[in-house]
A and B are shown apart, each in its own frame.
Chain A
Amino acid sequence: MSAVAVAANDKAFETVRTPDPEPRPIKIKASDVSVFYGEKQALFDVSIDIPERAVTAFIGPSGCGKSTFLRCFNRMNDTIDICRVTGEMLVSDANIYDPRLDVVELRARVGMVFQKPNPFPKSIWDNIAYGPKIHGLAKTKAEFDVIVEESLQKAGLWNEVKDRLHEPGTGLSGGQQQRLCIARAVAVSPEVILMDEPCSALDPIATAKVEELIDELRENYTIVIVTHSMQQAARVSQRTAFFHLGILVEEGPTNVLFTSPKEKRTQDYITGRFG
């Protein structure tokens, strides 16, 4: 096994990187991404390659910058006034921080699922159709119906809700709501789906269903998931990145990171030695 620590020129830290045994194509390439909240720097020169059609998990203690970093992928940090992002982020080789790029288009290609299931207080059908509607992906009701069914099928929710598409999405159980949110994200045919602790508000059974769904979606989408549950990262991801105090400490194939991490901080964190 050849663990190559790529030296990042003269920085005070080096991310320990273990490449995949069989390299995958790269979907997202982040180079020296730093995030500032006003004067405070939240993320320090993070560079990482996110492989295509695989699940990459970000783990780390609270406030380590993993969610902040995830929100750089679809420029959700733009909504925070004092937030400033430097560095380069390429999605399919296009710089998403290019001022000419339309953030609305970006978010159609890079979907997001949030910590708390947040279906719109509208019908299930309207929830799914909302994205295609604002992005003009369908025109007739029949076209929308097709998208709604396909998306719900992909989210494994179709059989549970097909008889009540016009009932409010907020009436579903927590786990169903989260899968509805995933279906909603899938409805605009994104290339990347970002998930910010998608199971932290769910019970274990609902969590298992969402994890199963993530595993299925992996065949068609590039998925990046932030999770507080190391077991979840170990279960669903192919690659794992460990963040600590705004620094990407170590990244590598999940099985390597969870059996023999190279960096002591990673080891201490995943074995439960500091919080």
Chain B
Amino acid sequence: MSTTAPTSTDSFWHSEAAIARRKKRHGADRRLQIFGITAITIAIGLLGILIVSLVSTGYQAFVQTEIALPVNVSSEEVSRDDPSKGDYRDLIRQALHAEFPDVGDSEFRQLEQMLTRNAQFIVRDRVVSNPSLVGQTTTFHIPMADPIDQLNKGVISAETPEDRRRVSNVQVELFDQMEQRGLVSTPFNWGLFFNADSRFPELAGLAGAIVGSFYALLVCFLISFPVGIAAAVYLEEFAPKNRLTDIIEVNINNLAAVPSVVFGLLGLAVFLNFFGLPRSAPLVGGMVLSLMTLPTMIIVTRASLKAVPPSIREGALGMGASKHQVITQHVLPLALPGILTGTILGLAQALGETAPLLLIGMNAFITSPPGGIMEPATALPTQIFIWADSPERGFVARTSAAILVLLGFLITMNMIAIFLRSRLERRW
């Protein structure tokens, strides 16, 4: 109580000075709250802008304009015994002629260009996988070329003067005709997930990148998880506390802060140039990423080991457990939820990492998903990088879509981490 203690408590609680003090205090409390709320609003707002802009440009990539075209796979053109050989381009032409008999020769080329350039291969692949189609007329759903896709999605407007759009008047007319005849459909674009990269946006997909990222993360996990745990266990449980271990500890903390591009350069110099490992391979990507995740893994694991109460160690030691029994039977199982959470967060970080992968060539143009860790591949972030660099209009939406897919994976991984933490965490 202050030295000027008032005679009556009532006058003390309700004096003007007291009211002023209270007002000031409450005001400060409120201001602090307002600062916090403002900060959170700004953060959520920025995140919202990012998501909205991504979704608004990217949503179109999740559907694809297709034309239903009946193609007569005549047995004259295609042999039943070897369906991979045959002039499928001619088959498509015949089908277009049959479907649009009014189109003159001068305009036919424009009609042909409305389909994706790979239309013949799409038909061929279908026939190869199902040779019974030979000699029959089958309706194929063929993706339409990027400009038509953009026209359908309203990105290219028919009102724009002809010389300022990539779709000719003839094509606009033909497209209207197709729509009226019910040949055009815009189904969900599974190709985005199941196709590999392509120079044609309507065919480009993330399969190669997803598989490449998966392999790279697998390699990264297989290296950094055991090595990280072993290093952390040694440092935490066995290493004597001296200058050397202090230096090691400081260096691990420093490594965690090293820019990832440096690890990329290291990978380029050591793994590619010195060991001669293949370029663009998920193996090298995973190794480089594991260099980057390892310090994080060690730090997280050490923190988890430290969090195991010493009473458990003492209890086990007091029972006569040896050091390795204490660690493997008591400390590690208790630290595991924390370690797993940290691992997933580390892998999520690795999943989003671009710079080191660029340096080891994982931004190559690769048209088929990798079959193993030694085959060239891209990764999700490098795929985004490639697409963002591509001039075609269709890649704008696909870049955003790819970012959304990457974000989806990151959110899933973080949710698994949260789930593991809340589910496996034990109380003691």
Interface residues, chain A, with chain B CB atoms under 8 Å away: 74, 76, 79, 81, 104-108, 111-114, 116, 118-121, 130-131, 134-135, 170, 181, 184-185, 188
Verify A118–B319 contact, CB threshold 8 A.
no
- Ordered by A's residue number, 7 sampled pairs between the chains whose C-beta atoms are within 8 Å are A104-B320, A112-B314, A116-B311, A118-B309, A120-B330, A181-B315, A185-B318
CB distance from B50 to the nearest CB of A (A): 42
CB distance from B115 to the nearest CB of A (A): 64
B289-331 at interface with A (beta carbon < 8 Å): 309, 311-312, 314-322, 325, 330
Chain A residues with Cβ under 8 A from B426's Cβ? 121, 170
Verify B320–A108 contact, CB threshold 8 A.
yes
* Minimal Cβ-Cβ distance residue in B for A109: B320
CA–CA, A131 and B312, complex, Å: 14
CA–CA, A170 and B334, complex, Å: 13
Option from A104, A106, A118 in Cβ contact (under 8 Å) with B315: A118
Verify A130–B334 contact, CB threshold 8 A.
no
CB distance from B243 to the nearest CB of A (A): 14
A114 with B315, Cβ < 8 A, contacts A81-B241, A121-B334 known = yes
* Minimal Cβ-Cβ distance residue in A for B240: A81
Option from A76, A104, A130 in Cβ contact (under 8 Å) with B322: A104
Verify B320–A134 contact, CB threshold 8 A.
yes
Chain A residues with Cβ under 8 A from B315's Cβ? 114, 118-120, 181, 184
* Minimal Cβ-Cβ distance residue in A for B242: A81
Q: When A and B form their complex, what is the total count of cross-chain residue pairs whose Cβ atoms lie within 8 Å?
A: 64
In the complex, B164 has a CB within 8 A of chain A: no
CA–CA, A170 and B315, complex, Å: 13
Chain B residues with Cβ under 8 A from A105's Cβ? 320
Which of A74, A79, A120: most chain B Cβ within 10 A? A120
CA–CA, A113 and B309, complex, Å: 16
Instruction: With A118-B315, A118-B428, A181-B315 given, name 16 new contacts (CB 8 A).
Output: A74-B318, A81-B241, A104-B320, A107-B318, A108-B320, A111-B318, A112-B314, A118-B309, A118-B312, A121-B334, A121-B428, A130-B321, A131-B319, A134-B320, A170-B426, A170-B427
Verify B312–A188 contact, CB threshold 8 A.
no
Chain B residues with Cβ under 8 A from A113's Cβ? 318
CB distance from A196 to the nearest CB of B (A): 9
CA–CA, A185 and B321, complex, Å: 12
Chain A residues with Cβ under 8 A from B241's Cβ? 81
* Minimal Cβ-Cβ distance residue in B for A171: B427
Chain A residues with Cβ under 8 A from B312's Cβ? 118, 120-121
CA–CA, A1 and B316, complex, Å: 45
B149-183 at interface with A (beta carbon < 8 Å): none
Option from B240, B320, B428 in Cβ contact (under 8 Å) with A170: B428
CA–CA, A108 and B322, complex, Å: 11
CA–CA, A177 and B411, complex, Å: 41
CA–CA, A134 and B317, complex, Å: 11
CB distance from A224 to the nearest CB of B (A): 13
CA–CA, A220 and B241, complex, Å: 42
Verify A114–B311 contact, CB threshold 8 A.
yes
Verify B321–A114 contact, CB threshold 8 A.
no
Chain B residues with Cβ under 8 A from A81's Cβ? 240-241
CB distance from B113 to the nearest CB of A (A): 68
Chain A residues with Cβ under 8 A from B311's Cβ? 114, 116, 118
CA–CA, A134 and B428, complex, Å: 22
Option from A114, A116, A119, A135 in Cβ contact (under 8 Å) with B318: A114
A107 with B428, Cβ < 8 A, contacts A114-B311, A121-B334 known = no
A135 with B314, Cβ < 8 A, contacts A118-B309, A121-B426 known = no
Verify A107–B319 contact, CB threshold 8 A.
yes
CA–CA, A7 and B314, complex, Å: 37
Option from A79, A116, A121, A185 in Cβ contact (under 8 Å) with B319: A185
Which of A79, A121, A185, A188: most chain B Cβ within 10 A? A121
CA–CA, A86 and B214, complex, Å: 58
Verify A76–B317 contact, CB threshold 8 A.
yes
Chain B residues with Cβ under 8 A from A111's Cβ? 318-319
* Minimal Cβ-Cβ distance residue in B for A130: B319
CB distance from B315 to the nearest CB of A (A): 4
Chain B residues with Cβ under 8 A from A130's Cβ? 316, 319, 321
CA–CA, A134 and B325, complex, Å: 9
Question: What string of 1s and 0s marks CB contacts (under 8 Å) between B408-428 and chain A?
Answer: 000000000000000000111
Chain A residues with Cβ under 8 A from B318's Cβ? 74, 76, 107, 111-114, 185
CA–CA, A164 and B314, complex, Å: 26
CB distance from B333 to the nearest CB of A (A): 8
Which of B309, B315, B321: most chain A Cβ within 10 A? B315
CA–CA, A130 and B320, complex, Å: 10
Q: Identify the 4 closest CB pairs spanning chains A and B, nearest first.
A: A107-B320, A112-B318, A118-B311, A118-B315
CA–CA, A118 and B41, complex, Å: 45
A134 with B240, Cβ < 8 A, contacts A114-B311, A121-B334 known = no
Verify A76–B314 contact, CB threshold 8 A.
yes
CA–CA, A135 and B321, complex, Å: 8
Which of B312, B318, B330: most chain A Cβ within 10 A? B318
B242-289 at interface with A (beta carbon < 8 Å): none
Chain A residues with Cβ under 8 A from B317's Cβ? 76, 79, 107
CA–CA, A43 and B316, complex, Å: 26
Chain A residues with Cβ under 8 A from B322's Cβ? 104, 134
Verify B309–A131 contact, CB threshold 8 A.
no
Chain A residues with Cβ under 8 A from B316's Cβ? 120, 130
CA–CA, A104 and B427, complex, Å: 28
CB distance from B418 to the nearest CB of A (A): 21
CB distance from A80 to the nearest CB of B (A): 11
CA–CA, A111 and B317, complex, Å: 10
CA–CA, A107 and B229, complex, Å: 29
Question: What string of 1s and 0s marks CB contacts (under 8 Å) between B350-363 and chain A?
Answer: 00000000000000
CA–CA, A255 and B427, complex, Å: 42
B201-246 at interface with A (beta carbon < 8 Å): 240-241
A134 with B314, Cβ < 8 A, contacts A120-B330, A121-B428 known = no
